[in-house]
Amino acid sequence: MQLYELVLNDGHAVSPFVWRVRMALAHKGLPYDSVPIGYGDKDKLAFSGQDRVPVLVDGDDVVSDSWRIACYLEDAYPDRPSLFGGAGGRASGLFFNRWCDTQQLGNLFLLCTPGTFDLTPEADQAYFRESRFEWSGMTIEQMREDPPKKIAALHGALEPVRQTLQEQAWLGGDQPAFPDHCLFGGFMWARTTSDFRLLDAEDPVEQWRQRMLDLFDGMARKAPAVQQD
> Which residues make beta-bridge pairs with 61?
58
Residue 44 DSSP label? G
215: enclosing H helix or E strand:
helix 204-222
Burial of residue 24 (number of CB atoms within 10 Å: 0-12, 13-18, 19+): buried
Distance CA 172, CA 178 (A): 7
61: enclosing H helix or E strand:
strand 61-64
Among 48, 66, 193, 194, binds ligand GSH (CB under 6 A): 66
Q: Contact between 65 and ligand GSH (CB under 6 A)?
A: yes
Among 13, 25, 53, 63, binds ligand GSH (CB under 6 A): 53
Interactions with ligand GSH, residue window 115-154 (CB under 6 A): 131
Q: Which stretch binds ligand GSH (CB under 6 A): 49-57, 75-83, 140-148, 210-218?
A: 49-57
Among 7, 8, 27, 54, binds ligand GSH (CB under 6 A): 54
Closest CB 15 distance from ligand GSH, rounded Å: 4
Q: Which is nearer to ligand GSH, 181 or 209 (CB)?
A: 181
How many other C-beta atoms are found inside a 10 Å radius of the C-beta of residue 160? 11
- The residues of the shown chain that bind ligand GSH, judged by CB under 6 A, are 6, 15, 17, 39, 52-54, 65-67, 131
